[in-house]
Every structure is written in structure tokens, then in C-alpha cells.
Amino acid sequence: MLKENLLSILAALGEVQGNTKNEEQAALVRGCRDNLRAAAEQAEALENNLAVVSVDLTTEEAELAVPALELRLTARDIKVSGVFPARAIREVM
């Protein structure tokens, strides 16, 4: 998804570059397009290596205590769900 967004910006800047008569501006746009092309390649590599884990967690009660601040938070009937990169889940567990 990110790759496609970057490539669409790259294409739009191609139109701008083609209509630019000033060589300095054309060079600037060309540099931006080169950077976008590289970013799109990096995004593709990241997207291909991103394993996603879906997490659903339900608990009756949880307590978070921070003794240094004399703070204690209690929550009841907690439901959490989300999608995370698998690497992030492995690092926490």
C-alpha cells in the first residue's frame, strides 16, 4: 500500500517535471523522484517481510501500579484487539 502511494506521487511529479522549463527546478524534481523511487523499493521490501499477527485480549480486571508516583490504576472488563507486526509481538513476549 505504501509503495503504491509513493509511486503515484512519483508519477504526478513526472508530469510536473515534464512541464518545467527551468532546469534548476527540473533537477530538483528529478532528485525528488529518485528519492521516491528508492523509498518505494524500500517500502516494497518492508511490506514483503511484514508478518502480521492479530491479537484479541479480554480480561476481567487489570491493575497498573507505579509506586514512585504513588499511582495505581485499575480497569475492569477490558477488551483489546489490534494488528501488530509479528516481530513486535515476539519482542514483548
Segment 21-65, tens digit of pLDDT: 899 998 999 999 999 999 999 988 887 776 666 667 777 888 888
Rounded Cα distance, 74 and 80, in Å:
15
Cell of 57: 485480549
DSSP 70: T
Tell me which residue has cell 501488530: 84
Q: Which three cell numbers stand for residue 23?
A: 532546469
Higher pLDDT, 40 or 70: 40
